[in-house]
Amino acid sequence: MDDLCSLPATRLAQLIRGRQASATEVVGAHLRRIEAVNPRINAVVQLRAEAALKQASAADAAIARGDAIGPLHGVPFTVKDWIETSDLICVAGFEERRSYVPKRDATAVARMRAAGAILLGKTNVNDGSPVYARPNNPHDLDRSPGASSSGEAAIIAAGGSPLGIASDSGGSIRWPAHCCGVAALKPTSGLVPNTGHFPRIGAMSDPRTAIGPMARSIGDLALALPIIAGPDGRDAGVVPMPIGDMAAVKAKGLRVAHYTRMPDATPSPETVAATEAAARALEAAGARVSEARPPRLEESLPITLSYWRRPSSVSWSRWMPSGEAKLSGEDVERHLFEWERFRRYMVLFMEDYDVIVCPVAADAAPPHGPVPVENWLYTLPYSLTGQPVAVVRAGTSAEGLPIGVQVVARSWRDDIALAAAAVVERALGPWPASAVAGD
């Protein structure tokens, strides 16, 4: 694998700005890596190689002229296929959309391009799509790369992309990041516009869904977040909140709660060890760490299932057992009350803590096959509360698979989640790049 394909996006941007590497070299290296690994992992489903190389050449010419450049000038990136791009088909897992090309980019994609990033292509989603075959985990081709931002996590882990844009409604950024061993952020709900996401959702219809970055390092997430965040005049649920500087957050004095056990979920010994290692890393950096778990976490699953059953113009039937009855209006009102109560309990808990550290899932990436809904017990609570969650690798399973942890902060303190995750990354990493079977 080319050395350029193992560097974080922050370093690639520095090399391009400093003329130590050209955008053409960086983009070309990643395209060659995709060509080498994609037949085995099936992560990239739409590729714009010729257009990307043409844009890379233009990016190099701009630097030669001394033009003003953006923070991601010449850096390649990829996008989950649920997020619209104006020059690539957006299937989003539906046969009916096999030839659908959106008229405009999703806001997050447009902002990445405006910052100088170069789109390589669209990535697969592990949702039983009739259009594309399933993606594979680069660490073990017989295992799942997670869902639903599966292709995004897989291609980053395999060295084919340094940075990606994905989405998370119940763990769809976090679980793939854990399965594939990459860094990721589910931002605070309402920080990044969901404009251009499919299904088309908004703050009222689905306050759980958040578009966020996936990358090779926590620093890359901190670079991408302010680029894609902020109101766009189209998503009415976005709040114009400032984003704090991760570098200004000090670990010393942070109040950290950590837990591993959940009702109906038994974590593996390696998952427990990884979570405790992350907590100890923060403690060594000066944080005040204690074992504590937010109350009523077990309610997150029935609340989420009730949300999926509600009458809606958005069909969630593919995630529901066949024959599930939809809820009446009275039921919906009752479950919205339960959701709001759940959020209040979390707010009260966070009065005593700045950070929560916990598993992403009970175990490492499972073999391909149906995923029980209990798999989401660790991630669902923080979708319902809308809190920011960073995922960072903190360990390895007995089979040699990556194990990530969630680093949760209060809403609008994405900087704290990223800063705490960066402490864990520095203490426990760096981890070896994924060697895809056959390399």
**Residue 32 CB-density burial (10 A; 0-12 exposed, 13-18 middle, 19+ buried):** middle
How does 129-160 read in b/e, with b if 16+ C-beta sit within 10 Å?
bebbebbbbbbbbebbbbbbbbbbbbbbbbbb
Query: What's the distance, CA 134 to chain centroid?
Result: 19
pTM of structure:
0.95
Query: Smallest Cα–Cα separation from 391: which of 214, 260, 246?
Result: 214
Looking up tokens 């038994």 gives 266
Residue 242: strand, helix, or coil = coil
d(CA 153, CA 174): 9
Label the pairing between strands 76-80 and 163-168: parallel
Residue 14: strand, helix, or coil = helix
pLDDT tens over the chain, length 439 residues: 679 999 999 999 999 999 999 999 999 999 999 999 999 999 999 999 999 999 999 999 999 999 999 999 999 999 999 999 999 999 987 888 889 999 999 999 999 999 999 999 999 997 657 789 999 999 999 999 999 999 999 999 999 999 999 999 999 999 999 999 999 999 999 999 999 998 877 666 678 999 999 999 999 999 999 999 999 999 999 999 999 999 999 999 999 999 999 988 999 999 999 999 999 999 999 999 999 999 999 999 999 888 776 655 444 444 444 444 455 666 667 778 899 999 999 999 999 999 999 999 999 999 999 887 778 999 999 999 999 999 999 999 999 999 999 999 999 999 999 999 999 999 999 988 777 866 7
Contact (CB, 8 A) for 386 and 188: yes
How does 314-338 read in b/e, with b if 16+ C-beta sit within 10 Å?
eebeebeeeeeeebeeeebeebeee
pLDDT tens per residue across span 80-117: 999 999 999 999 878 888 899 999 999 999 999 999 99
The CATH H-level (homologous superfamily) assignment of domain 3-428 is Amidase signature (AS) domain (3.90.1300.10)
pLDDT tens per residue across span 17-34: 999 999 999 999 999 999
Expressed in angstroms, the distance from the first to the final Cα of the chain is: 8
Q: Report, as residue numbers or ranges, the catalytic residues.
A: 80, 148, 172
3-state secondary structure 311-322: CCCCCCHHHCCC
Query: Smallest Cα–Cα separation from 219: which of 16, 10, 392, 390?
Result: 10
Query: Smallest Cα–Cα separation from 171: which of 382, 332, 349, 431?
Result: 382
